[in-house]
Amino acid sequence: MRTLVYILLSVLVGIFNTFAQEEASSKETDNEISFSFDGDISFSGAENMYFSTSDSDDTFKVRAKFPERKTVKIRKYLKEELGDRNMKISGSKQLWKIEYNGDTAYEIKVDDGSLRIFVDKVLVSSSMFNKLKTITKNIKNYTSGKSEEKREEERLKRDEERLEREAEQLMRDAERKMREAERLQREAERLKNEAARKTDQ
């Protein structure tokens, strides 16, 4: 009988240890927050706009559509970043293009309300590629109408809501485990009393 009591008490201790490990694991997971800009990104709204990227091992591509009124600022921004040495203008189209031995290293096309970017990651330097990705990110923020601070605020809000849901789930699990622990404790006490009565007999 004593063996059974010891087994039940061991189970009780195990439940508390499991809960502590799950809580610690949850805290470790919450600290691992990451964000990647690579891959397809798109959004749409009342003005029928989108912004998508494709980042493979060899190439980086961007296709975007946005309100035409934003084109002027995008042209100005690109000119400030890339200069006008490799720029060509044809009607409403504006083109920046660099070639090496007849192969296109990168090409950026801007038209009224649209943008296309092609980058050969093999031909461009890593610093140039990083610059073009930064340009892409800044244009995306501008065309979507959201600043980087606003995006960070929204991300933090989503993280906060997620943590609240996880905390509520942990509380429910803790309450369930406490009820189970109390039940096991009562059962252990009952068995202990029963064992004591049998010993007295």
- Tens of each residue's pLDDT in the chain, 201 residues: 445 444 544 544 455 455 445 444 443 333 332 223 334 444 444 456 888 999 999 999 999 999 899 999 999 999 999 998 889 998 889 999 999 988 999 999 999 999 999 999 999 999 999 999 999 999 998 887 765 566 677 778 888 888 888 888 888 888 898 999 899 989 888 888 888 787 776
Residue 146: exposed, middle, or buried by beta-carbon count in 10 A (0-12, 13-18, 19+)? middle
Helices 148-200 & 2-30, crossing angle to 10 degrees?
170
- Say what the pTM is: 0.51
Q: What angle do CA 108, 114, 118 make, to 5 degrees?
A: 25
- What local confidence, expressed as pLDDT, does residue 31 receive? 36
